[in-house]
Amino acid sequence: MKHRATGLLSASIAALALVSACGGDDELHVADISKDQAWHTVNTNLHSVLPDWPTNTPFPEDDPTGPLNGLKGCKSEPPSYMASGPPWSVRVEATLSTPTASEKDEINRGLDTLLTQGFTEMPGNDTTEPDERAVTNTDKYVVSVNISSNTGSPEYSVSSSSPCIRFPGDDKYQIGR
């Protein structure tokens, strides 16, 4: 299965992952998990759904002032209400352009496998896409599939995110660039 990693996430899945992983601003929970453990877990969870996904990818430490590769802010504040951090949710995503029936089956089998490993389906799939799904576990890790057809053909975005965490140096990352 060929896929490309991407740093973008659609607004619907971003909101779903942010709310489920971190809770609302009024009840922001920060998990006691190291950045390295969260990074390993999100990659392992995505590998469960996309077997070609590498589990040993290093965390993108290259430039904390550049794009937020691998991080999603867990709080939002006026006036923009943009997601910001710290704390952060660690995340990875792969995009499959026009996946084959076999690739779609593989994704659904992977999500079903996660269901046997303590994950549960998240409610709220109010779209017409039956393959759009999201699962979460009691540690608030989320794996989700979002489908868009902006290019005229279906594009599957499969993402894996952690609960909100703090880590040494996390305040050097910034939003809005």
The larger pLDDT score, comparing residue 135 to residue 167, is at 135
CA 98, CA 101: separation in Å to the nearest integer?
9
Q: What is the pTM of this model?
A: 0.78
Predicted local distance difference test score (pLDDT) of residue 128: 60
Asked if the model's pLDDT at residue 68 lies above 60, the reply is no
The count of other CB atoms within 10 Å of the CB of residue 78 is 5
Predicted local distance difference test score (pLDDT) of residue 157: 93
Asked if the model's pLDDT at residue 17 lies above 50, the reply is no
CA 22, CA 76: separation in Å to the nearest integer?
11
Mean pLDDT of all residues in 164-174: 83
Report whether the peptide linkage leading into residue 154 is cis, meaning its omega lies within 30 degrees of zero.
no
pLDDT band at 6 (very low <50, low <70, confident <90, very high): very low
Residue type at 87 in one-letter notation:
P
Cβ burial of 13 (10 Å; 0-12, 13-18, 19+) is buried
According to DSSP, the β-strands at 120-121 and 83-97 are unpaired
> How far does CA 86 lie from the centroid of its chain?
17
Residue type at 176 in one-letter notation:
G
Weakest-pLDDT range from 55-64, 116-125, 153-162 = 55-64
Asked if the model's pLDDT at residue 66 lies above 80, the reply is no
Predicted local distance difference test score (pLDDT) of residue 78: 77
Give percent above pLDDT 90 in the chain. Answer: 41
* Close Cβ partners of 42 (under 8 Å, ≥ 6 residues apart): 90, 91, 92, 141, 160, 161, 162
146-174 burial code (b ≥16 CB/10 A, e <16)? bbbeeeeebbbbbbbbbbbbbbeeeeebe
Weakest-pLDDT range from 36-40, 57-61, 64-68, 117-121 = 64-68
100-147 per-position pLDDT tens digit: 999 999 999 999 999 999 999 998 766 566 678 999 999 999 999 998
Contacts within 8 Å (CB) and 24+ apart, 122-130: 122/16, 122/20, 124/16
